[in-house]
């Protein structure tokens, strides 16, 4: 009895040996017949055999292999079929009867798989939760956490530590990076003269405290990322909605990033444009539906995940599947959402779901508003390190020229330095999601303040190696802003509906009085069609560097300034505002305001005009409709020339015409034009034009997280001989000639310091002298402006 029992006990204690050898029989079989479509990164029909878990997960049509259950394993049915439209693989001779038998036996035995085997090892999977790396010891007193991580990294690889950039280079770089504008010549001189050891840190803090400059600059970054603009597809017909006002206020007040994200995912009426997406007119693919756009947008913007491929089929480039994209889309959908694969309905209904259930899950049974709130809470969950890493990686890329993960929307990719990425992410959390604090953290490191890396044709051929920050091309907005600031050609108003002035900021007082007649008691109402011409002659000194004008009329008008048509309008409640500077000349000038009365019967009529002329010291002179004007019934020709026998009379100033609403709008426009206490207009706040588009500003119908860093052919052509650029240089030259330059050399010195933060070399000064000649002319100034703007040193942030 004992001799029989012991061998039986020993037998049951040992693992059973499978009749089928997975490594030597099944792997070659699968590689031969299935590998082309279903192993590695290939998952045709949503089915992968790369790993056992992928095999058991099945395809888009359901389970394919059920271990130990041959009858329910559809794979066997497909490989054994004699029907060429059904049989797998569809090409070649297919499996032999012996191979089908081996596969059947393998499944019957439980589809045993060698532990850890994969036809291709799974792609890198980034950590979800935050992690706290151990900081290396400081070297040479460089205690900043970023420097401690990077100094250890370069030392380990026996690479040289990047040397610090000089003060002038840092000054220009940090101004352009943080607030998007060049430092003035005065700011340059003051910084270079400062001797405090912490002057760079103080400058960083001071720049980030310039709230409106900060908001103006970062609007371009966020408009790209939230595909927000001031004109374009969908805005007219209501198929798209701006988030401009909400976004600008969020930047100006430095809204914490977690609140920022929550308000975009579970939006208020002011912030709902991002989640709404674009309702395209006409036929579109299923993946372009607003619900799928929501899925794609929040994944790309906040997580650096590409759900666009997965919105049509299981992704070929990473692990995201059709059901992941539709799960996010279903969260925002007001009705059941059917999964559609490559525009073919599957008959399956999407289930609202968040792709990282480790942090919790959205309840599909809740109303849409609650589902969005749940999603917003999951996205900003303290343990969602992916949100934190994605935004700090974007900021690192903007300041350093390359992401820690690169490209920045490929956050499934392994970072070149995981510790650095986590140090940045942890700083965001420690600062209570303060984006300015992260920018300050980066900009105060010696890594940021180092000289830029010198790139060659073979750089990155063998992978990225950190050797310091990389030079970045000026964005379209930075280039235009730089030229506007240098030449004083910024427009007098912006297109973005944003509040750029705070309470108590000074502006020009509204002084214009309505002229014409509305004296009903005396029966002095102008008849229908009556035309009156109003005139003011005034003197202009050469010192005027800026001038603006607001004008309106009930019912219509045309304004001539020195014989040139300057403005027209036909709605007194929509006054016109324009830059007056280019119309003025030194000496005597003339406004000729032609007003026409409309209507069907005699009615009250009035004209208004107010202008300001600003000298080089910022002092304003106001010109406005008042008793100093005169009028005539004579009508000018198309060139604004009146008959020689025109009779001029004193004007009547109207006491009350019921035009308070229109006057309030004119006063508001004047405040914008005068800019008293308001920063000059910025390119990020105006509609895109041909010049900005050729410089790389996108149309924002798609999310753009990285603009090209290379010069395009279109840009080269437009900068070489484009009319828009030439006109801007011409206007700038005319403005600059109004300033009291001591000599051409004085102008050259100012231009180089203002544009490049350095003085011209002797050779450059000689070339400038040849361009400008013995005295400044509009053509010479425009030519030197062009020459400086063409320098790579001007067009890049080094």
**CA triplet 622, 490, 752: central angle to 5 degrees?**
115
Question: Six-digit token pair at 118?
Answer: 């994969």
The mean-pLDDT minimum among 90-99, 233-242, 586-595 falls in 90-99
* CA pair distance 406, 304, nearest whole angstrom: 10
Query: Which pLDDT score is estimated for 424?
Result: 98
Query: Which pLDDT score is estimated for 446?
Result: 98
* CA pair distance 660, 331, nearest whole angstrom: 48
Radius of gyration of the chain (CA): 35
* CA pair distance 98, 698, nearest whole angstrom: 59
Question: Six-digit token pair at 413?
Answer: 């990719």
* CA pair distance 381, 280, nearest whole angstrom: 33
Contact 755, 482 (CB under 8 A): yes
Q: In this model, does residue 6 exceed pLDDT 50?
A: no
Closest CA to 405 of 392, 418, 415: 415
656 falls in which pLDDT band (50, 70, 90)? low
Alpha-carbon distance values, 255 to 141, 436, 437, 580, 693 (Å)? 34, 10, 12, 38, 30
Query: Which pLDDT score is estimated for 520?
Result: 47
Contact 395, 438 (CB under 8 A): yes
Alpha-carbon distance values, 794 to 172, 474, 785 (Å)? 10, 8, 11
Query: Which pLDDT score is estimated for 58?
Result: 86
Query: Which pLDDT score is estimated for 17?
Result: 44
Question: Six-digit token pair at 638?
Answer: 């198309």
Alpha-carbon distance values, 48 to 30, 37, 78, 589, 786 (Å)? 11, 8, 15, 79, 58
Residues with Cβ < 8 Å from 743, sequence gap 6 or more?
A: none
Contact 477, 224 (CB under 8 A): no
The mean-pLDDT minimum among 297-306, 531-540, 656-665, 787-796 falls in 656-665
Q: In this model, does residue 677 exceed pLDDT 70?
A: no
* CA pair distance 446, 166, nearest whole angstrom: 12
Contact 387, 435 (CB under 8 A): no
Segment 470-497 shows an average pLDDT of 93
Beta bridge partners of residue 539, listed in sequence order: 588
CA 322 to chain centre: 28
Q: In this model, does residue 24 exceed pLDDT 90?
A: no
Closest CA to 340 of 332, 330, 331: 330
510 falls in which pLDDT band (50, 70, 90)? confident
Query: Which pLDDT score is estimated for 194?
Result: 95
Closest CA to 274 of 287, 258, 262, 284: 262
Segment 144-159 shows an average pLDDT of 97
491 falls in which pLDDT band (50, 70, 90)? confident
Query: Which pLDDT score is estimated for 769?
Result: 97
Which residue blocks in 628-772 are alpha helix, DSSP H? 660-674, 690-694, 713-721, 723-736, 744-756, 762-772
Closest CA to 415 of 424, 403, 426, 427: 403
Which residue blocks in 109-256 are alpha helix, DSSP H? 145-156, 167-178, 185-193, 199-208, 211-225, 244-252
Q: In this model, does residue 567 exceed pLDDT 50?
A: yes
Question: Six-digit token pair at 650?
Answer: 């004193």
Query: Which pLDDT score is estimated for 123?
Result: 73
pTM score of the predicted model: 0.79
Query: Which pLDDT score is estimated for 15?
Result: 40
Pairing of strands 544-554, 556-561: unpaired
Question: Six-digit token pair at 140?
Answer: 């040479």
CB atoms within 10 A of CB 775: 9
Could you report the per-residue pLDDT of 295-312, keeping only the tens digit for each? 999 999 999 999 999 899
H or E, element range at 539 = strand 531-540
The mean-pLDDT minimum among 44-48, 414-418, 427-431, 548-552 falls in 44-48
Q: In this model, does residue 18 exceed pLDDT 80?
A: no
Query: Which pLDDT score is estimated for 92?
Result: 81
Segment 140-155 shows an average pLDDT of 97
Segment 733-760 shows an average pLDDT of 94
* CA pair distance 242, 277, nearest whole angstrom: 10
Could you report the per-residue pLDDT of 227-264, keeping only the tens digit for each? 999 999 999 889 999 999 999 999 999 999 999 999 99
Q: In this model, does residue 7 exceed pLDDT 50?
A: no
* CA pair distance 684, 366, nearest whole angstrom: 40
Segment 759-788 shows an average pLDDT of 97
Which residue blocks in 87-183 are alpha helix, DSSP H? 97-108, 145-156, 167-178
Ranges 86-95, 160-169, 508-517, 534-543, most confident: 160-169
Segment 470-476 shows an average pLDDT of 97
Looking at the chain, the whole-number percentage of residues with pLDDT higher than 70 is: 95
Which residue blocks in 431-521 are alpha helix, DSSP H? 435-443, 476-487
* CA pair distance 599, 556, nearest whole angstrom: 11
Query: Which pLDDT score is estimated for 14?
Result: 38
CB burial readout 115-127, b (16+ within 10 A) else e:
eeebbeeeeeebe
What is the chain's mean pLDDT, rounded? 90
**CA triplet 757, 761, 762: central angle to 5 degrees?**
155
Q: In this model, does residue 60 exceed pLDDT 90?
A: no
Residues with Cβ < 8 Å from 356, sequence gap 6 or more?
A: 128, 378, 384, 386
Segment 415-444 shows an average pLDDT of 98
Q: In this model, does residue 10 exceed pLDDT 60?
A: no
Q: In this model, does residue 523 exceed pLDDT 90?
A: no
H or E, element range at 588 = strand 587-596
Segment 218-223 shows an average pLDDT of 98
Q: In this model, does residue 612 exceed pLDDT 50?
A: yes
Query: Which pLDDT score is estimated for 507?
Result: 65
CB burial readout 182-217, b (16+ within 10 A) else e:
bbebeebeebeeeeeeebbeebbeebbeeebbbbbb
* CA pair distance 693, 303, nearest whole angstrom: 28
Give 11: exposed, middle or buried? Use CB within 10 Å, 0-12, 13-18, 19+: exposed
Beta bridge partners of residue 584, listed in sequence order: none
Contact 51, 122 (CB under 8 A): yes
Residues with Cβ < 8 Å from 58, sequence gap 6 or more?
A: 47, 64, 65
How do the residues of the chain divide into helix, strand and coil, expressed in percent and rounded to 5?
A: 40, 10, 50
Segment 52-71 shows an average pLDDT of 87
* CA pair distance 250, 218, nearest whole angstrom: 11
Longest Cα separation, the chain: 141
**CA triplet 488, 672, 735: central angle to 5 degrees?**
15
H or E, element range at 250 = helix 244-252
* CA pair distance 257, 434, nearest whole angstrom: 6
Question: Six-digit token pair at 410?
Answer: 């490929």
* CA pair distance 509, 137, nearest whole angstrom: 61
Question: Six-digit token pair at 84?
Answer: 């060429």
Query: Which pLDDT score is estimated for 130?
Result: 97
What DSSP letter does each residue of 735-761 carry, written as one string? HHTTS--S-HHHHHHHHHHHHHSSPPP
CB burial readout 275-302, b (16+ within 10 A) else e:
bbbbbbeeeeebbbbbbbbbbbbbbbbb
* CA pair distance 302, 390, nearest whole angstrom: 7
């Amino acid at each position: 009895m004992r001799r029989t029992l012991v061998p039986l006990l020993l037998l049951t204690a040992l693992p059973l040996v499978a009749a089928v050898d997975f490594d030597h029989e099944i792997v070659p079989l699968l590689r031969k017949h299935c590998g082309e479509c279903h192993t590695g990164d290939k998952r045709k029909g949503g089915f992968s055999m790369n790993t056992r878990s992928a095999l058991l997960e099945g395809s888009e049509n359901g389970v394919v292999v059920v271990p130990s259950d041959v009858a329910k394993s559809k794979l066997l049915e497909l490989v054994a079929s004699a029907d060429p439209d059904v049989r797998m693989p569809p090409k070649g001779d297919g499996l032999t009867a012996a191979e089908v038998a081996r596969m059947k036996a393998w499944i019957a035995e439980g589809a045993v798989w060698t532990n850890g085997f994969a036809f291709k090892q799974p792609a890198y999977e980034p950590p979800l939760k935050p992690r706290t790396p151990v900081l290396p010891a400081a070297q040479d007193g460089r205690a900043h956490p970023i420097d401690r991580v990077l100094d250890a990294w370069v030392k380990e690889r026996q690479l040289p530590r990047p040397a610090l950039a000089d003060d002038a280079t840092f000054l220009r770089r940090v101004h352009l990076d943080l607030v998007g504008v060049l430092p003035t010549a005065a700011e340059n001189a003051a910084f270079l003269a400062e001797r405090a050891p912490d002057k760079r840190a103080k400058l960083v803090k001071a720049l980030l405290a310039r709230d409106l400059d900060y908001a103006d600059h970062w609007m371009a970054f966020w408009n790209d990322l939230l595909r927000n603009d001031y004109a374009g597809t969908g805005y007219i017909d209501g198929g798209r909605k701006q988030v401009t006002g909400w976004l600008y206020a969020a930047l100006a007040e430095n809204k914490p990033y977690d609140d920022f994200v929550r308000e975009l995912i579970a939006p208020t009426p002011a912030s709902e444009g991002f989640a709404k997406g674009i309702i395209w007119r006409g036929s579109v693919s299923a993946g372009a539906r607003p619900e799928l756009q929501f899925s794609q947008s929040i994944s790309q913007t906040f997580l650096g995940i590409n759900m666009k491929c997965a919105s049509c089929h299981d992704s070929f480039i990473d692990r995201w599947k059709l059901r992941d994209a539709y799960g996010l889309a279903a969260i925002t959908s007001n009705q059941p959402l059917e999964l559609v694969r490559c525009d073919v309905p599957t008959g399956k209904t999407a289930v609202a779901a968040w792709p990282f259930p480790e942090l919790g899950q959205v309840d599909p049974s809740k109303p849409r508003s609650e589902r969005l709130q749940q999603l917003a809470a999951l996205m900003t969950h303290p343990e969602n390190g992916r949100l934190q890493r994605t935004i700090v990686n974007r900021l690192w890329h903007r300041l350093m020229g390359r992401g820690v993960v690169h490209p920045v929307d490929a956050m499934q990719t392994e970072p070149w330095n995981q510790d650095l990425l986590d140090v940045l992410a942890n700083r965001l959390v420690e600062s209570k999601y303060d984006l300015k604090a992260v920018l300050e953290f980066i900009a105060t490191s010696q890594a940021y303040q180092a000289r830029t890396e010198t790139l060659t044709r073979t750089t990155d051929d063998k992978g990225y190696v950190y050797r310091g920050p990389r030079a970045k091309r000026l964005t379209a907005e930075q280039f235009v802003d730089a030229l506007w600031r240098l030449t004083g050609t910024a427009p007098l108003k912006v297109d973005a509906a944003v509040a750029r002035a705070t309470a108590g900021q000074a502006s020009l007082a509204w002084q214009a009085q309505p002229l014409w007649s509305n004296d009903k008691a005396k029966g002095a109402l102008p008849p229908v069609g009556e035309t009156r011409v109003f005139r003011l002659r005034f003197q202009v000194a050469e010192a005027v560097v800026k001038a603006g004008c607001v004008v309106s009329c009930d019912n219509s008008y045309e304004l001539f300034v020195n014989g040139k048509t300057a403005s027209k309008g036909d709605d007194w409640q929509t006054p016109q505002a324009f830059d007056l500077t280019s119309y003025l000349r030194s000496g005597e000038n003339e406004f000729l305001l032609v007003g026409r009365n409309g209507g069907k019967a005699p009615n009250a009529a009035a004209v208004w005009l107010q202008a300001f002329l600003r000298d080089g010291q910022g002092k304003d002179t106001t010109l406005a409709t008042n008793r100093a004007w005169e009028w005539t019934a004579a009508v000018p020709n198309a060139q604004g020339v009146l008959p020689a026998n025109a009779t001029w009379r004193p004007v009547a100033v109207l006491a009350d015409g019921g035009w308070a609403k229109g006057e309030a709008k004119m006063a508001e426009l004047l405040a914008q034009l005068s800019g008293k206490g308001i920063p000059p207009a910025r390119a990020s706040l105006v509609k895109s034009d041909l010049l900005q588009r050729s410089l790389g500003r996108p149309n924002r119908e798609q999310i753009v997280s990285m603009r090209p860093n290379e010069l395009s052919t279109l840009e080269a052509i437009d900068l070489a001989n484009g009319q828009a650029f030439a006109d801007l240089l011409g206007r700038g030259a005319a403005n600059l000639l109004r300033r009291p330059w001591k000599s051409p050399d004085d102008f050259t010195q100012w231009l180089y310091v203002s544009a490049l933060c350095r003085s011209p070399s002797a050779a450059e000064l000689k070339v400038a002298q040849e361009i400008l000649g013995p005295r400044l002319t509009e053509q010479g100034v425009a030519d030197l402006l062009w020459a400086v703007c063409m320098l790579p040193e001007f067009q890049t942030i080094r």
